Amino acid sequence: MLQGDRSTTAHNPYSAGFTLVELLVVVLIAAILLGIGLPALQNLVAANQLAAVTDGFATSLNVARSEAGKYGAPVVLTAAGGGVNWGSGWTMFVDGSDLNAALDTGATPPDVALRAGPSVPSSYTLTSIGGSAGSFANKFWFDASGRLLDNTGSAATAPAQFQICQGGGPAVTGGAARLITLSPSGRVRIAQNNSLGQPIDDTNTAVTSCP
């Protein structure tokens, strides 16, 4: 009596996969790579956000100056936070000829609302600094020719400086701050940082602390 072939499969006592030791090595390597890469990623995100806050405010200043020329009338920026704090947001509008920093839509000609700026992220500050900081607290204008006017409506005699800081604290290192300067002529400039990450102002002096 013939019997059909019986296929037999050899039993392999070793199963494919990781041993416990190999798995622990993989986990250890992954933890090391994460520990190295995560701070670098966080620094990159912070640097990009700092650049976005800086570029956004500088762009708004240029828009205000341009709109003053377009309307042939002063354009004012007023700080929502009051004083030298510009980080809580701001408003921008054509202020007619009275320079009262109030949006008078019933005036002749009427004031014109242009835009409003949002507050900066909670870990950032945007502040008017330097010897002329008080002259640009609360408000300032660009006149119809694009020149900078201080918070009394008088022609500025010194640059306005606005510092953007990330993370707070007294020290400025590693590019954690940027500086925007406004010349009396109204020119907007983002200052370069030195090798320590500190902004250099118009007098070629490093800004070494945050408010």
Count of structural domains within the chain? 1
Phi, then psi, of 164 in degrees rounded to 5: -110, 120
Report the DSSP beta bridge partners of residue 115.
Answer: 92
Task: Assess if residue 210 is contained within a domain.
Answer: no
Phi, then psi, of 55 in degrees rounded to 5: -65, -35
End-to-end CA distance of the chain: 100
Q: 57-113: per-residue pLDDT in tens? A: 999 999 999 999 999 999 999 999 888 999 999 999 999 878 889 898 888 888 999
H helix intervals, the chain: 20-71
pLDDT band of 203, cuts 50, 70, 90? confident
Task: Assess if residue 199 is contained within a domain.
Answer: no
CATH number of 98's domain: 3.55.40.10
Which whole number is the average pLDDT over 114-127?
A: 92
pTM of the model: 0.78
Residue 190 in tokens: 């983002």
Task: Assess if residue 114 is contained within a domain.
Answer: yes
Per the structure, the complete domain to which residue 166 belongs is given by 22-190
Task: Assess if residue 80 is contained within a domain.
Answer: yes
Query: What count of residues does the chain have?
Result: 211
